[in-house]
Amino acid sequence: MNPFLKNLYIRQPEKKDENEIHQIFSIVINDAFDKEPNFSDPQEIVDEIRNQKNKLELFFSSSGEEEYFLLTEYENQIIGTLSFGKPSDIIIKEIGKEAINSPALKSAYVLPKFQSRGVVKMLFFEIIKEIKRRGHSQFYFDCGYALAQSYYLKLFGEPEVFLPHCWGQNCHHRIWKCRVNDYLLK
Ligand SMILES: CC(C)(COP(=O)(O)OP(=O)(O)OC[C@H]1O[C@@H](n2cnc3c(N)ncnc32)[C@H](O)[C@@H]1OP(=O)(O)O)[C@@H](O)C(=O)NCCC(=O)NCCS
């Protein structure tokens, strides 16, 4: 394992981390929307940050039952997050009832200067153990960010659902359906 990955420390968030995690959401979401090809409405950024803060709040208020978060620290700084919880409306609409009781991965956010260095991949292999521990055999993941979709095509392969031009010209949405055991074995 490379020295950077060896020095990552993965754990659940504590209440004292809340402000730092909010900062991560704000920095990463602003940066991600800046890089999106057809982004135009700043209100989307505000809504997405609020949505992520609500998920984190649900993690604290439900003690990880309704929404489960992990974060990564590097040299005492939080640099990334990943969570799972109830599938989004778009997953349920496209997949149907079978998706309702399966978890969906969410909140994959890594500070720009630490992206593409294996942070989310490491969080992913850790969070999958918790999904398994809760008795699930499959999980979903959906993504509407153009850049991030290229990462996930690499990580998860071809999606179950492809929604072309869902968010405007050339802004597609993809939904992956994955078997837990495929990722525990890797
Ligand atoms: C998308 C994001 C979460 C990925 O996290 P990350 O820590 O940068 O990803 P990793 O380094 O763990 O990469 C995972 C895989 O994608 C690949 N990858 C990384 N950067 C890539 C790039 N620029 N293009 C294509 N593939 C890439 C990696 O090579 C790795 O696959 P490999 O092990 O086969 O090499 C992160 O870049 C991010 O926060 N982006 C902005 C916010 C966002 O879009 N979040 C997603 C919301 S759905």
Comparing C-alpha atoms, which of 53, 61, 72, 65 is closest to residue 13? 72
More confident of the two residues 170 and 29: 29
β-bridge mates for residue 10, sequence order: 72
Ligand 1: atom nearest CA of 124 is 12
For residue 107, is it left (φ>0), alpha (ψ between -120 and 50) or beta? Answer: left
β-bridge mates for residue 8, sequence order: 74
8-11/104-110 β-pairing: unpaired
> Which string of b and e fits 22-58 if b means at least 16 CB within 10 Å?
eebbbebbeebbeebeebeeeeebeebbeebeebbeb
Q: Which fold has domain 3-184?
A: Aminopeptidase (3.40.630)
Ligand 1: atom nearest CA of 32 is 41
Q: Is 186 in the pocket of ligand 1 (CB under 6 A)?
A: no
Rounded CA-CA distance 135/103 in Å is 11
Question: Has residue 170 got a pLDDT over 80?
Answer: yes
Q: How confident is the model at residue 185 (pLDDT cuts 50, 70, 90)?
A: low
For a ligand 1 pocket test, name from 72, 116, 149 the mutation site with the most ligand atoms within 8 angstroms of its C-beta: 116
- What is each CA distance from 74 to 78, 110, 112, 140, 158, in whole angstroms? 6, 12, 14, 28, 32
For the segment 106-154, what is each residue's pLDDT rounded down to a tens digit? 999 999 999 999 999 999 999 999 999 999 999 999 999 888 898 899 9
Rounded CA-CA distance 100/68 in Å is 16
124 three-state secondary structure: helix
For the segment 59-109, what is each residue's pLDDT rounded down to a tens digit? 999 999 999 999 999 999 999 999 999 999 999 999 999 999 999 999 999
pLDDT at residue 186, rounded to an integer: 54
Phi, psi of 11 (to 5 degrees): -160, 170
Q: Is 120 in the pocket of ligand 1 (CB under 6 A)?
A: yes
pLDDT at residue 120, rounded to an integer: 95
Rounded CA-CA distance 124/154 in Å is 14
Say if residues 45 and 30 touch (Cβ distance below 8 Å): yes
